[in-house]
Amino acid sequence: MFKLIKILLPVLFIAGCGMKPSIEDAKLSNRNFSLEEFFEGETKAYGQFQDVLGNVSRRFTVNIKGSWDGSNLVLVEDFKYDDGSEEQRIWKLAKNNGNIWVGSAEGVVGVAEGKTSGDMFYWAYTIDLPTPSGERRVSFKDYMWMLSDDRVLNKAYMSKWGLPLGEVTIMFEKDL
């Protein structure tokens, strides 16, 4: 068993470090992702969590209400999980220097930091995440792409101590 762990651990670490998008990647459209414009008002999201082996273990929907005051974006996220549990997270984001964002929410350790570039938004943070088996401190690296005026795709890579735990895929839809 120990030999298997010694082999799998480096493989998982290498897999977790590579093959991820980058904010510097070539842009796929000429859109400019404006978080404050897209998330102001009501947005609906559909998502799921997959572990490192690709097993889907949790699905959810999120109703989001966003408000923008010219420099701060507040997102009230109401999660409903397929197992019947519910959760609310309230993000408070501030826009700095045009395309730099910082934010906080209950459970976030320190400050969440992000950046927009063309049709993409990159967002990184550590959070004490409530789970069915109890709270777990994990780190997220989120990549969001504005696919159209009413759709944003989010791919989030979740890790603990630098080791990959899985991925969260979310589709945000805006009623125009």
Q: Where do the structural domains in the chain lie, given as residue ranges?
A: 33-174
**Which DSSP symbol is given to 27?**
P
Instruction: Let me know: does 28 contact 127? Beta carbons within 8 Å.
Output: no
**Which DSSP symbol is given to 63?**
E
Query: What is the pLDDT at residue 155?
Result: 97
Q: What is the pLDDT of residues 137-153, one digit of tens each?
A: 999 999 999 999 999 99
CA distances in angstroms from 36 to 96, 98, 127, listed in the order given: 12, 12, 23
* Identity of the amino acid at 92: K
Residue 176 has pLDDT above 80, yes or no: no
Two structure tokens written together for 39: 């998330």
Mean of per-residue pLDDT scores for the chain: 89
Instruction: Let me know: does 116 contact 93? Beta carbons within 8 Å.
Output: no
Q: Which fold has domain 33-174?
A: Lipocalin (2.40.128)
User: What's the rounded Cα separation, in Å, for the pair 141 and 21?
Assistant: 10
